[in-house]
Amino acid sequence: MAQPIEARNISFEYETAAGPVLAVKDVSFSVGDAEFLCVLGPSGCGKTTILNMLAGFLTATRGEILIGSKPVTGQGQDRGVVFQDFAQLFPWRTARRNVEFGLEMRRVPEAERRDTALKFLQLVKLEKFADAYPHELSGGMQQRVAIARALAYNPGVLLMDEPFAALDAMTREEMQKLVTEVWQETRKTIVYVTHNVAEAVYLADQILVLAAHPGTVRAQLKLDLPRPRDPLSTEFVAMQREVLRHLTH
Ligand SMILES: Nc1ncnc2c1ncn2[C@@H]1O[C@H](COP(=O)(O)OP(=O)(O)OP(=O)(O)O)[C@@H](O)[C@H]1O
Ligand SMILES: [Mg+2]
């Protein structure tokens, strides 16, 4: 079951040696059930901070977040998280055993764990690499394992923080296509952080455009382009221009 998300006037202040730093100010947005939201903005505008609040790793200094109409009070298995860092997998576990991790925590029996893990590895096209260790996989493959792991315990919401930012452009395009397929197959509510306009226009139903210092909402834009989207089409380019206009004004 996917779940809707609502953020109501959330702010976040970091405590630093030099005093408090207001990173996110009065941000509100909503994401419908099984919708794909991209959070877009320049470096330092608070994207990761917002994602960490959604994940429950950070608690909003003000405001509240509702997931499936329940307030977020901490981490939970209703949300799967994928980070930018390739080193998020357990290096001592194979791809399959990485995907099984959350299921082990839930004490799912071994045979069922194995089947579920293989199913999700297949979804991210890595079934042939089930027994490989992270260091034997490319960056893109490791990120696909991380996605499979986040999906394996069937959360309603998938949170992704620039998962493909460190990949080369060609691999990144392949990964974007794969994420669209995975989303269409699993119908999760997705919040995907990026600073790349073309990526947001390729992926999103809605784009939350942020301004920096402190992070505030510039616009929440709806995209009606049919999928699969063609980055070379006139509509795509026009939408990119529109998003850029909001980003830079
Ligand atoms: N641990 C921290 N302590 C103090 N200030 C922080 C901390 N983490 C982030 N900040 C500040 O909060 C602001 C938002 O940071 P955040 O990491 O959320 O931005 P971002 O949009 O994810 O940036 P990037 O695109 O570079 O990943 C930044 O201006 C940064 O200075
Ligand atoms: Mg970030």
47 C-beta closer than 6 A to ligand 1: yes
Q: How confident is the model at residue 249 (pLDDT cuts 50, 70, 90)?
A: confident
Position 221 in a domain? yes
pLDDT of residue 98: 98
Q: Choose among 244, 215, 249, 248: nearest CA to 47.
A: 215
The residue to mutate among 15, 25, 40, 45, having the most atoms of ligand 1 within 8 angstroms of its beta carbon, is 45
The maximal CA–CA distance of the chain, rounded, in angstroms, is: 55
Residue nearest to atom 4 of ligand 1 (CA): 14
**Quick check: 184 pLDDT over 80?**
yes
Position 150 in a domain? no
Report pLDDT digits (tens) over 81-98.
999 988 899 999 999 999
Do residues 29 and 220 lie in contact, with contact meaning Cβ atoms separated by under 8 Å? Answer: yes
**22 Cα: distance to centroid of ligand 1 (angstroms):** 10
For residue 219, what are its two tokens?
């616009």
The span from the CA of 177 to the CA of 219, in Å, is 25
Position 196 in a domain? yes
Residue nearest to atom 7 of ligand 1 (CA): 14
Q: Roughly how many angstroms between the first and final C-alpha of the chain, as a whole number? A: 38
Position 173 in a domain? no
Instruction: Report which residue type is found at 23.
Output: A
Domain limits for position 3 = 1-78+188-249
64: alpha, beta or left? (left if phi > 0; alpha if psi -120 to 50)? beta
**8 Cα: distance to centroid of ligand 1 (angstroms):** 20
Task: Using DSSP bridges, classify how beta strands 19-31 and 216-222 pair: parallel, antiparallel or unpaired.
Answer: unpaired
Position 74 in a domain? yes
195 C-beta closer than 6 A to ligand 1: yes
Q: What is the mean pLDDT of residues 8-25?
A: 97
**16 Cα: distance to centroid of ligand 1 (angstroms):** 12
Tell whether the torsion through CA atoms of 203, 207, 211 and 214 is positive or negative. Answer: negative
Q: How confident is the model at residue 2 (pLDDT cuts 50, 70, 90)?
A: confident
**161 Cα: distance to centroid of ligand 2 (angstroms):** 7
19 C-beta closer than 6 A to ligand 1: no
The H or E element that residue 37 is part of is: strand 36-40
Position 192 in a domain? yes
Q: What is the mean pLDDT of residues 173-180?
A: 94
**Quick check: 140 pLDDT over 90?**
yes
Position 155 in a domain? no
pLDDT of residue 86: 82
**234 Cα: distance to centroid of ligand 1 (angstroms):** 35
14 C-beta closer than 6 A to ligand 1: yes
Residue 241 burial (CB < 10 Å; 0-12/13-18/19+)? exposed
Q: What is the mean pLDDT of residues 39-50?
A: 97
Mean pLDDT of the chain: 96
Report pLDDT digits (tens) over 59-88.
999 999 999 989 999 999 899 999 998 889
**Quick check: 153 pLDDT over 90?**
no
pLDDT of residue 18: 96
Q: What is the CATH number of the domain that holds 196?
A: 3.40.50.300
Domain count of the fold of the chain: 1
Position 217 in a domain? yes
